[in-house]
Amino acid sequence: MAAIDSTKRRYGIVGRSPALENALNTALRVAPTDLSILITGESGVGKEVFSRIIHDNSPRKHEKFIAINCGAIPEGTINSELFGHVKGAFTNATGDRKGYFESYDGGTIFLDEVGEMPLDTQTYLLRVLESGEFIRVGSSTVQRTDVRIVAATNRKLNERIESGKFREDLYYRLATVNIELPSLRERAEDIYLLFRYFANNFAEQQGFDPVRIDDEARWLLENYQWPGNIRELKNVAEQLSILAEKRELTAADLLTMMPKLRDRNLPAITKNGRGDGMQEREILYKVLFDMKADLNDLKGLIFELIRSNDLRVPDMGKIRALQLPGAYPAAAEEIDRRAGVDTADFRSAATEDPIIVDTSMQRAYDRSEIVEEDLSLANAERELIRKALKKHNGRRKEAAAELGISERTLYRKIKEYEIVE
């Protein structure tokens, strides 16, 4: 525990969630080894910070370290960047050039977004991991290197393996140890601590008082989804510090400056705590909210028809004789008001003449068929997807955005429910 606390202070890591501390503990335990490590997690959760922790706590800490974003290097030049090239290997190759694996021999190479690496480059990387050997582009001479590989991705490599975009043997070589970093929404207890940390640091740098928030504003932050994770929260803290005219902010102040905070995370248990389960449940919540909105619209239409056509509810005696439950006195008063009946006069008339209740309608109701409402969540989800596709003329990308899910999830649902577009 002392080592974890010391690491948090050194690298500015704020939080006390069990998932975060478990990831830190794993990183510190494997750092002294030479094992390849795969760090997984959404964008903005701090994967590069963990790669530095692993390097700085390893026997290679006095050697060089470099972080490489594989997704940012063009496919045509990534082999040259990583493994080097010889003169004449391709156009503009006017001389020999060392690659990162040669230049950082003895150190650590952090391969960020390794899931975006081209397949031929994956083959070369696999050879380095297995034997420490590589060949410069355009050369036939085998060279050796001794580097430690720490890789990271925000993609689900298992799915890319199934689609043939990532080598399965490379995955198992990289993931000798897998460290999974939790998203910010999975660390709700840390959100307020992080906000205060970023707000105080920014205020200290700029020379003014830090911004503070009340309990309701804190609730807004803790129930927002934070798709950009820690990076997004830091931006929000700094923007509020600059834009806020006062230092004590309420929930209303936050919503005025940051309307996106209204898009909060609905309280549902997700599948394995990951995004797809949450997206599917949010579809079902959307169905229920739409049904409620339709019901409210129908009520409004009926009352508007009554008002605009000067309609009257017939035979108030029969309606009163149905004896509305005592828990709904407001409903009875509303009927009287809309029918133009004075409640006091009605009570007087009711005591003079007995009311004969016509039960013919009740008997007709008794003979009627009761149709059970379809409460299947799967059917509701299927129908909502059909509506979204129809609304956007079959354009899946726009339909997925309307439903609040990824295009991949929508495609899977279309196949699962056999929806004909």
Beta carbons within 8 Å of 370's beta carbon, 6+ residues apart: none
> pLDDT at residue 280 above 70?
no
Higher pLDDT residue, 308 or 384? 384
Of 285 and 63, the structure prediction assigns the larger pLDDT to 63
Residue 372, pLDDT score: 55
- pLDDT at residue 338 above 60? no
Mean pLDDT estimate for the chain: 82
**What's the pLDDT score for residue 240?**
93
Does pLDDT of 23 surpass 80? yes
Q: DSSP 3-state assignment of 416?
A: helix
pLDDT digits (tens, 9 = 90+) for 361-396: 455 445 545 555 555 677 878 888 888 888 888 888
Contacts of 290 (CB under 8 A, 6+ apart): 384
157: helix, strand or coil: helix
218 near 182, Cβ under 8 Å?
A: no
HSE on the CB side for 192, CA within 13 Å?
Answer: 12
Q: Which residues contact 295 (CB under 8 A, 6 or more apart)?
A: none
d(CA 330, CA 311): 20
What pLDDT is stored for residue 273 in this prediction? 45
Here the contacts of 71-79 (C-beta below 8 Å, separation 24 or greater) are 71/112, 71/113, 71/116, 72/113, 75/118, 78/117, 78/118, 78/121, 79/120, 79/121, 79/124, 79/137
CA distances, 40 to each of 154, 155, 175, 203, 297 (Å): 6, 8, 10, 32, 46
What is the pLDDT, as a whole number, of residue 406? 82
pLDDT at 314: 53
Per-residue pLDDT at 286: 66
Asked whether the beta carbons of 197 and 17 are under 8 A apart, the reply is: no
Is residue 11 within 8 Å of 51, Cβ to Cβ?
Answer: no
What is the rounded average pLDDT of the residues 46-50?
A: 94
Query: Residue 272: pLDDT band by 50, 70, 90 thresholds?
Result: very low
**What are the start-end ranges of the E strands in 14-157?**
37-40, 65-69, 108-112, 133-135, 142-144, 148-153
Residues 206-252 pLDDT 10s: 998 999 999 999 999 999 999 999 999 999 999 999 988 889 999 99
Residues 6+ apart with CB under 8 A from 306: 338
Nearest-CA neighbor of 236 among 209, 402, 220? 220
The answer to whether the CB of 120 falls within 8 A of the CB of 79 is yes
Spatial separation of the C-alpha atoms in residues 418 and 421, rounded to whole Å: 9
Could you read off the pLDDT of 192-201 as tens digits, one per residue? 999 999 999 9
Pick the range with the lowest mean pLDDT from 66-80, 187-201, 267-281, 406-420. Answer: 267-281
96-111 b/e (C-beta count within 10 Å ≥ 16 → b): ebebbbbebbebbbbb
Class of the CATH-defined domain 2-182 = alpha beta
Q: Per-domain residue ranges for the chain?
A: 2-182, 185-262, 275-367, 377-417
Token pair, residue 307, equals 């008002």
Q: What is the CATH number of domain 185-262?
A: 1.10.8.60
- Tell me the pairing of strands 133-135 and 142-144: antiparallel
Assign a CATH topology to domain 377-417.
Answer: Arc Repressor Mutant, subunit A (1.10.10)
Query: How high is the pLDDT of residue 340?
Result: 54
Which of 88, 92, 50 lies closest to 67, judged by CA?
50
Q: What is the arithmetic mean of pLDDT over 129-156?
A: 94
Tokens linked to 262: 């209204």
pLDDT of residue 306: 74
In three-state secondary structure terms, 180 is strand
Q: 66 CB contacts (<8 Å, ≥6 apart)?
A: 100, 104, 107, 108, 109, 110
